[in-house]
Structure 1
Amino acid sequence: MTVSAERQTPRADCTAGPDGGITFDLDLRRGEAGETPELLLRLRGAKRTGGRGNTLRLPLSPLGGGRLRAVLPGTAAPAEGRWDVYVREPGADDDAAVAVEPGIRDVRLLMDRTPETGRIAVRIPYPTVDGRLAVRCWVRSPHAEAGPVTFDGGQMTVEGTLYGTRLGDDARVEARLTGAPDRVCRVPVAGKEGTFSFTLPLDRLSPGPVTEQQLWMLWLLPGTGAGEPADGVRISRILDDVWDRKNSFVYPGRSAGEGIRAIPCYSADNDLCVRLVPDPVQAR
C-alpha cells in the first residue's frame, strides 16, 4: 500500500448515525492509481474461517483529494462485540490488511436516543488502547436500558426504559453471581408505559462472609404473561456514545453487611452489575 510520507497507516474520520449507520472517510494519500481497496471490519476474538459472519466488507468510493468513503448501513447486522477496522488492497489476503487509525469521531447523534422499535442496534466507533480504530456493536431485542441509579442507605434503586417487551404481573429482577448459577437474589420490579424500576437491598446479595471479589450481574425478567425470554433481559446502558463504562461509571461503595462493601458499576460491555469486596475497615 502506498501512503503519504507523513503517515504510515490509513486514518479514518467517522460519523455515527442514530440508526446504527457509520460513515468512514479515509485519508489514504495513494500515490498510484489502481483498483480501489476495501474497508474490512473483523470481529475481535472470532476464528478466521473465511469471513462468513465474522468479517464485514465495505466498498470504498473516491471522494477526491486522496480520500475514500465507506458506509456501514444501519440495516447491516454485525454481531454483538468489538470489530477492528482494516484496509485491504485488491487481491491481498485478509491477513495482509492494514489497521486503520482513528481520526475525528462525530458521535453527537448517538446522544439521547429514543429507539422506535424493540430491536436495538448500537454501533460506536472508538479508539483502542493501542491506537487503532474499532467499532463496538450491541444487538439487543428486547432491551432494558438503565437510567438513574440512586441510593438510600444500603438500598440501590434503578430506573430505566424497557424496549421490545412489557412487564407482566410477576415481573422481577435477578442479581446473579458470576460463576455460581445457583446464587440468585430476586426483587420485584414495577413500571408502566415502557418504564421499569426496582430497589435492591445490597445486604441481600451475600448471606455470609466475602473473602474475595464477587460480581453480581443484573437481569430483568418481564414475566410469563409478557412472553418472557428464557434467560431474561440484561440491564445495560448503551444508548449514548460511551463504548466502555467499566472504569468511568463506578458508584461509591456502600456497606452490604459486616465486613462487606458493595460497589455498583458497569462491566466492559456496559452491563449494570454490583461488585462485592471484603471491607478491610469493617473487618478490623
Structure 2
Amino acid sequence: MIPGAFSYHRPESLADAIKLLSTLGEEARPLAGGHSLIPMMKLRLATPGHLIDLHGVAGLKGIRREGDKIVIGAMTTQHELLTSDEIRTALPILQEAAALIADPQVRYRGTLGGNVANGDPGNDMPALMLTLGAIYRLEGPNGAREVAASEFYQGAYFTALEPGEILTSITIPAAAAGHGHAYEKLKRKVGDYATAAAAVVLTMAGGKVASCAIGLTNLHETPLLATDAANVVIGTGLDAATLKQAAAAAEAIMSPAADARGPVEYRKHVGGVMVMRALQRAAGRAR
C-alpha cells in the first residue's frame, strides 16, 4: 500500500503545467484532488514517475455565469459546488450528486475536474455531465479545444485527452426554469462507489414529460446516456407501465462488471430501479 517512487512538481502557471506534462510524457500525471490517482498508486495500478500538482496554478478554480451557461473551473472542489448559490439556482442536481460523493473530508479536497477527467467508471459526475450536455475545455501544447462530454469517454480510464493536455473548465447550460431533477444512487456504505446510479433532468408540460435526459453511473466501462429510455417517457405521464419500459430500455445498454457489489443481473436490475426512482422524483419536482 505504498506508492512507487516519483518526482513532485508544483507549477505556478497553466503554461508551465502543460510544458511539464508534454516534456515528461507518459511518465507524468496531473494531480488534482488525488482521490482516484493516489489509491491506484498505492495499489501499484498506476506508477507515474512524476506528479504535476495543479493546486498552484491560478485560474483553475471558480464558478461563474456566462449568459445562459455556467462555467466551472476544473479545480473547483465538491464542497465549493455544495456551497455555491449559483449552482443551487442553476444546476441543483450537481449539489444533490456532490452530497453523495464519499464523505466530507473527500469533498473538501476532491475536485470536479479530477472526478470527470480520469475516466473512472465509478465516479459520479461524468454521467451528470452527459445528462446536462456539458462541454469540456482542454488545453495543451497545441492550444485549446472543446470536447462534448458525450464524446470524451472512450473506455475505462481512457478519454479524449491528448498527451500534454489538461482539462481546465467545464461549461454547462443552466437548467430550464421549472425543470425537475434527481440523482438516485445505491451504494453499500458511505464512501463507496455506486452499485448503480441514475441521473434524470426533465421538464413537464400539461402533466406530461416534455423533455428528458437520463445518465447512468458505474453500469458500463464508461458513463452512459440512456437516450432510448428518455425517449420512452417523453409525451407520457410516467404511469407504471411507462416507468417499467424506461427501466428496460436503460437496462438494455448496461454491461456492469460482476464484483463485490453484486453479479451482473443484480446490478442491471437495481440500475433499472434507480432510473424509475429518479424519473418519479424529478417529475414530482417539475410539477
Q: By percentage of residues, which structure has more helix?
A: 2
Higher strand share: 1
TM-score category of the 2 structures, normalised to the smaller one:
under 0.3
